[in-house]
A and B are shown apart, each in its own frame.
Chain A
Amino acid sequence: MAKVKVATAWLDCCSGCHMSFLDIDEAIIELAKQVEFTRSPITDIKEFTPVDVGIVEGAVSTTSDEEVLRKLRDNCKILMAWGDCACFGGICAMRNLFTKEDVLRRYYIETESTREGRIPSSEDIPSLFEQVRPLNQVVKVDCYVPGCPPDSKAIQYALSELLQGRIPVLPSEMMRFD
């Protein structure tokens, strides 16, 4: 049987969800027999190629995040959101309580260790959106694994559901927002 092709991406995040995925430990050997990871921070492949499953960690915070997310969506059949940032906005959305200008000023100018700071501006640097958004406010998302980070058991459950041809919905006892 041909391997299921999976691509993953991280947007505005801490990479904790990918770490939690690696926490499935030896189960990753079995998984590797059934799954081929194409584009992913783990494989360090950058190009988007058509895949069966796209997995995204993190919220949409910059123009680059949106571009990556849309490309992945265009290239995958099923899109799965990993973690609270991707599902709800999570910790990244804390900045939504302030204006973009306040956030940038605080970060680049007012931090206690900063001397003569300035807010960088260049076409090469992705710019921040006014608001951080969860994935489903940008593209269609097919399934969600919330958690900060999701427990590796929850990630494993979601992946095995997908491999068995079902769209995963975490049972209540696996649900976590922290």
Chain B
Amino acid sequence: MKEITLTINDRQVKGKEGDTVLEVCQANGVDLPTLCHLEGLSDVGACRMCVVEIERERRPVPACTYPARDGLVVKTHTEQLEKYRRLVLELIFTERNHFCMFCGQSGDCELQELAYRYQMDNVRYSYAFPSLPVDSLGDYLVVDHNRCILCGRCVRACSEVVGIHAIDFGKRGWRTVISADLEQPLGESSCVSCGACVQACPTGAILSKLSLYKGKTSECQQVTTVCPLCGVGCELKVLVKDNNLVRIESPGLKGPRAALCKEGRFGLLYDQRPRVTSPLIRDRQGKLEECTIDEAIETAADKLRELKDGFAGIISSRYPKETLSLFNRFMRHVMGSDWIDTLDGRNYRLIAKGISQFNDKGRGLDVECSIEEILEADCILVAGADVLKTHPVLGYLIRQAISQRRAKVVVIDSVRDVLPLWSDLWLKPKAGSEGVLFNGLAKILIDKGLVERQKAPAELLQSPSGYEADEVSRATGIHIGDLELAASMYGEAEHGVVIYGEGLLERNDPSLVTCLLSLADLKQHRSGDHLRVISLKPHANSHGAWELGLAAEDIPQDKLKGLYLFLADEQEDEGLWNWLKGIDFLMVQASYHSAITSLADVVLPSPIWAEREEGTYASMDGRVSESRRVLQPKDGLLQDREMLIELSKKLGRELVPS
């Protein structure tokens, strides 16, 4: 980028071509006040706080939208400009309700801060006192239009950072308000409650119910960690006061991973499930009774000594790599068992088998691409992947690709259109006919000349009968026109991305994975070494756990006598409960009571995500992040690592963390 030189307040400063005057000021330590500007969002010049005087401009201009040029002569703090700024503040204060003593954001408000800075101890104009509604019916968000200054930061965060664009300006002029859809209450609109708007709001107009009055930013410690929920691996900035969670934010609104989902931002703050605070053992009457850690470990060790074989370990991939690998060593070296699995191990075995059938060069999960590829996509196939439910942030990326790249979205799902507002086409194959569908799409690509014929797999060319369009249409129940439309959307795309997930994997057929990889390979939808295919990995560290080899084989359920289940703060799962209920000896390490802990013979308490010691996570596309401890664990609560070491000691073996 070309360097340019400007004169700001009689000082020669450097900037880059393409910068705004505000950016040059900020890079050179000129402290310009701003309100509607926020790093990561586009600039609109709405508030006029950053007005500057530029030589040969007839009137002051907002620095945030004025392009910096070589030779510009800028004045930022003349007496006149400072007067204007104070005047702007006074006008903003008179427009609506900006009385701080009954506002939840007082002390955390940019408008208030600026009024202090400009020593605004009175207002020369009369106040408008419009009586505007307050929308507080949503799960987590309160919108108080009376506190809104119409800076539009929430609107831009919603459309630019998240991509959802559920809110925008409604009405006109004096009556303008932030409006969700066509003036729906936020909770009933297309809003996804991701809370980017709360983070963007400079005043108390958009508030989070869970964080209100819990602590001001200045009173909080800030810890950056990785989200413990799905495999996207978002970075979280957690604010803590007196060992209580106050709020969760995205560390910045800039970049492709800046959005958080509802669960990550709000759900983590408030878990109503009862905590496992003490170890429990089943007494002679078969009742679970509280006991000391020593008693629990003693009981567990006695039982484990009895179990010579048939003992397995299952761990949630919510744990960091360090815990996963210690658990692995505990099972192999202390218990002498090779039966180790993760809660999502079945997914891995299907995906891994599918990849190995596609390509025998020993490629693993790294054959897939990074999730940023979604942002570049002009066509996205979403196959059996309820992204908005399981990996909402991926859903937002899809939405951004739609609005910024005009990406076409084809949903392949035998139950419902998982993206009903966004999809261009929904293919509804009969359950189990997905494989035929994928091959059929490949055949159309070849027949239409949308791919190079020599790249096509031999079986498609030699036995065309099974995959002729009418045959495929009959087998899948999808109209031929839709098949052709889907094929041409994906085939004519330059940057096609395939996302698949649970809906496909539940067919228990690794060749479906192979088909999708082949389809991407056929059309050469690849970035370097990586095919533009993304499998949804359910947990924060699924990728890490799978790479450690924890989910290599199915545990033979019929030979299973005892099980050590590392559940962490995992949600309840009926399938798992059914699977566990016949086991003779079940030991569960969990943070919360659930139907599963009530099946157990021994329950050991486990820290929740925020109390867990630091560790390493690999996101679904293999990006490595460090998690940090956010809260001090409750009194006497052992870390999972300590629990494993104690248990090993009791069993007469030493377990050393690597």
Interface-forming stretch among B101-109, B287-295, B435-443? Answer: B101-109
Which residues of A in the span 134-178 have a Cβ within 8 Å of any Cβ on B?
134, 136-137, 141, 143-146, 148, 169-173, 175-178
Indicate whether A96 sits within 8 Å of B121 (C-beta atoms), given known contacts A90-B101, A91-B99, A148-B101.
Answer: no
In the complex, what residue of chain A is closest to B131 when comparing beta carbons?
A97
- Bound-state CA distance A141–B121 (Å) is 11
Which residues of B in the span 92-138 have a Cβ within 8 Å of any Cβ on A?
93, 97, 99-103, 106-107, 112, 115-117, 119-124, 126-127, 129, 131
B122 touches A136 (CB 8 A): yes
In the complex, what residue of chain B is closest to A147 when comparing beta carbons?
B101
Residues of B within 8 A of A53 (CB): none
Indicate whether A175 sits within 8 Å of B131 (C-beta atoms), given known contacts A84-B101, A91-B101, A134-B122.
Answer: no
A175 touches B115 (CB 8 A): yes
B97 touches A172 (CB 8 A): no
In the complex, what residue of chain A is closest to B99 when comparing beta carbons?
A90
A175 touches B107 (CB 8 A): no
- Bound-state CA distance A178–B119 (Å) is 15
In the complex, what residue of chain A is closest to B128 when comparing beta carbons?
A96
Residues of A within 8 A of B146 (CB): 97
Which of A96, A133, A177 meets B101, CB within 8 Å?
A177
Is A88 located at the chain interface by the 8 A CB criterion?
yes
Residues of B within 8 A of A97 (CB): 97, 129, 131, 146
B115 touches A84 (CB 8 A): no
In the complex, what residue of chain B is closest to A88 when comparing beta carbons?
B123
A137 touches B126 (CB 8 A): yes
Q: Which of A97, A172, A177 has the most CB of B within 10 A?
A: A177
In the complex, what residue of chain A is closest to B146 when comparing beta carbons?
A97
> Closest Cβ of chain A: how far from B128's Cβ, in Å?
9
Is A29 located at the chain interface by the 8 A CB criterion?
no
> Closest Cβ of chain A: how far from B119's Cβ, in Å?
6
Residues of B within 8 A of A172 (CB): 116-117, 119
Residues of B within 8 A of A91 (CB): 99, 101-102
Is A51 located at the chain interface by the 8 A CB criterion?
no
Is A11 located at the chain interface by the 8 A CB criterion?
no
In the complex, what residue of chain B is closest to A137 when comparing beta carbons?
B126
Is A94 located at the chain interface by the 8 A CB criterion?
yes
B129 touches A131 (CB 8 A): yes
Indicate whether A93 sits within 8 Å of B127 (C-beta atoms), given known contacts A81-B122, A88-B122, A178-B107.
Answer: yes
Residues of A within 8 A of B121 (CB): 87, 143-146, 169-170, 175
> Closest Cβ of chain A: how far from B202's Cβ, in Å?
15
In the complex, what residue of chain B is closest to A135 when comparing beta carbons?
B122
B101 touches A98 (CB 8 A): no
Residues of A within 8 A of B107 (CB): 178
- Bound-state CA distance A84–B115 (Å) is 13
Is A58 located at the chain interface by the 8 A CB criterion?
no
A87 touches B122 (CB 8 A): yes
In the complex, what residue of chain A is closest to B106 when comparing beta carbons?
A178
Residues of A within 8 A of B100 (CB): 84, 148, 177-178
Indicate whether A134 sits within 8 Å of B123 (C-beta atoms), given known contacts A172-B116, A177-B106, A177-B112.
Answer: yes
Which of B102, B119, B131 meets A170, CB within 8 Å?
B119
- Bound-state CA distance A96–B128 (Å) is 9
A144 touches B129 (CB 8 A): no
Which of A88, A131, A169, A171 meets B99, CB within 8 Å?
A88
Is A89 located at the chain interface by the 8 A CB criterion?
yes
- Bound-state CA distance A137–B115 (Å) is 20
A93 touches B99 (CB 8 A): yes
> Closest Cβ of chain A: how far from B118's Cβ, in Å?
8
- Bound-state CA distance A134–B94 (Å) is 12
Q: Which 10 A-B pairs have the closest CB atoms?
A: A177-B100, A144-B121, A148-B101, A175-B116, A96-B129, A178-B106, A178-B100, A97-B131, A178-B101, A144-B122
Q: List 15 A-B contacts (CB under 8 A).
A: A84-B101, A89-B99, A91-B102, A93-B129, A94-B99, A96-B127, A96-B129, A97-B146, A145-B121, A172-B116, A172-B117, A173-B116, A177-B99, A177-B100, A177-B101
